[in-house]
Structure 1
């Protein structure tokens, strides 16, 4: 069961992280400022209430008219219990009742000389509430600005990092495709040095180490094949001088097989060195394939859907077709079909199909996948075919017609399908591709 995976870029991850941190900081600071301002304004209002009550007390005690002034009351029955306690102790005080409506009530009370209590009750409203609303509005606008500013900053920073990583990934992809001259550090460029430079240097060092190892293996392989070529040729010549008989046939067969193996190894070494160049000719692809395959194997069914002229190397193209047909004959089942459609050549057998390792990783020398496909060999045939296709600037792909144990809609078994895609513009003698004029 596949697990759901969300794919996002580094740019947006950094932007979201910065925006989230900015939002948390802005929220925390807004709450702190809001509470501090509210407490400060409530304290100021309580002081004002106390001053008014004290002024009303002086007026009440010095005036002959005993009516309370400034909206004060004598012995208010709704006086909070905490203030009632203070009044019994002959102490003055203020009290804030948060209430349930969201608007606090401010109380201030003082004891009079005759034992009565003078109190003042107002709500925290008017100018104070307006100031708090304006402050909250300013805090909200500031918080939103911080979030958007942090998001924009994250896009800029993350975009730079993401751009460098994409360049590094693209350069590493070119290296993986065999272009070992590409350097990741040069590809990402830039003046600022960060962890991506360390990653690029590590990838470049790994590429150099792999190139040295591959070159050493190629030289050893080529040297061994060169050293074996002379004795194997002598062995084959000596086998021709043996008297006729079954033992002589076995010796000649094994000597010829060894010679073929040595020649294949030498060819692989030449292809790995990237020194091979195509000798181009204009050919009719369908007619060429039909003629060559008929000469190689008359049992192969050939179908030319659409004829096309291509510029390619006939000798290398014939080598690719020979190896694909040989592979189909060894590991597949009849019938073997070859279809030519424009610049595309398909070779199909009706055997068990290519092994999963080949479909996943491509052809590999000295690996045949014998556990999946019956037969023997050294795994060089498809390796050589893929190498020759690269020299031609072509693309050689492999797939299976149907999964193992299933059948096609026509009732046929599955099988292996190799598809050769010849390029529209053939490579030049230097291995590059010509730039065609816009008029063409």
Structure 2
């Protein structure tokens, strides 16, 4: 149940309970007041009739002497000079009795209590209608309040998802709108402040990373030139290999920094996915088993798609074991190796830069899958990593249809 309906239900229940409690209170108070008034009025009447009986010796105005219908407890309570009243319900109806003792006899008077009960029933009908109206009104008010709050929170959640996706222009406070300074507005301002702080830190981190990688390019260029001028030999080969690795690492760091800006845009062109993957996969890994189940033409960025495929195959080669199977099925491309599988931290949180899985002594710097995931995000594709039941590691790239490409 959504928050909207929870609030609506809570307000409706509270409204009904309050209305019922007030109605019961009014009903009981009015019924008690009616009974008290009836007892008091009947006592005054019997006193008047008792004085008239003493004066004339006759019963008047419906009073009776030693009426056998007088309730036994009322007869016992009525003694000389003492007036007693009682409210009794019989088959004939509800009556209010009054009795007073006089000279060993009991003078009594019975009056119909029906009109008072009719008034109470009329009041009850009004109270029922009022309670129903209060319940309906409270329910509608709860729905209105819950809908407004739910709508604002949904907008806040949508804005927060845009922020988490890397859109720096979205602010939760502006998205939920309104001039009220309630808890939703406070939450929105807190999320905006947190997003701004995180974006500032990420921007500073990206800028430092990009600056370091950029500054390394100049000395690396000179180092590469100097290494090429070294005389042939084992040490020269080692130096040239390490310089090449350092240069590749610098380029990868620069690519990660560019992807972190969330400003990269794909250069789209139509690509026959089956033929494209077959040629690239066999070029990167000649022993790869490539199968095209369903070929299709997709609008994508060939350079970025090639980068993703190369990094997935490189990861499978370094950390997995053959055979490496590449399958194209419509807009889906899978790379499956038969090694130990992806590490748990990658399955939980996705690729993390400079954190490798599998054998710590394996080559690489943990940037390959990070770059693949970043390039997939630029293409609007979905890249997932799983360990299938049959073993190994399975990377699945789901390319978007043309209308979903950013």
TM-score normalised over the length of structure 2: 0.89
Alignment partner of 1:28 is 2:21: yes
Alignment partner of 1:229 is 2:217: yes
**Cα separation, 1, equivalents of 2:167 and 2:335:** 29
Alignment partner of 1:379 is 2:387: no
Match of 1:331 among 311, 314, 319: 319
Alignment partner of 1:276 is 2:276: no
Alignment partner of 1:49 is 2:42: yes
Contact 2:167 2:262 in 1 (8 A): no
**Cα separation, 2, equivalents of 1:374 and 1:238:** 29
Change (3 A) 1:300 1:68: same
Q: Which residue of 2 aligns with 1:72?
A: 64
TM-score normalised over the length of structure 1: 0.82
**Cα separation, 2, equivalents of 1:133 and 1:274:** 72
Q: Which residue of 2 aligns with 1:87?
A: 79
Change (3 A) 1:76 1:276: closer
Aligned residue pairs, count: 405
Secondary structure in 2 matching 1:420: strand
Alignment partner of 1:422 is 2:404: no
Q: CA deviation at 1:339?
A: 0.8
Contact 2:295 2:328 in 1 (8 A): yes
Alignment of 1:215-364 (within 5 A): 215-364=203-352
Alignment partner of 1:396 is 2:383: yes
Change (3 A) 1:100 1:28: farther
Contact 1:282 1:311 in 2 (8 A): yes
Q: Which runs of 5+ in 2 are unaligned?
A: none
Match of 2:100 among 105, 110, 114: 110
Q: CA deviation at 1:86?
A: 5.4
Q: CA deviation at 1:79?
A: 4.9
Q: Which runs of 5+ in 1 are unaligned?
A: 1-7, 403-412, 434-440
Change (3 A) 1:274 1:26: closer
Higher share in helix: 2
Change (3 A) 1:332 1:83: farther
Change (3 A) 1:201 1:68: closer
The C-alpha deviation readout for 1:328-369, integer Å capped at 9, x for no partner, is 112222211111122221111122322333233322211224
The C-alpha deviation readout for 1:48-103, integer Å capped at 9, x for no partner, is 43344345435544446x67872534275965557635515x22232346x899x8
Secondary structure in 2 matching 1:310: strand
Change (3 A) 1:263 1:67: closer
**Cα separation, 2, equivalents of 1:421 and 1:22:** 52
Bigger shift: 215-224 or 48-57? 48-57
Q: CA deviation at 1:132?
A: 1.8
Q: CA RMSD in A?
A: 2.9
**Cα separation, 1, equivalents of 2:43 and 2:265:** 102
Alignment partner of 1:141 is 2:132: no
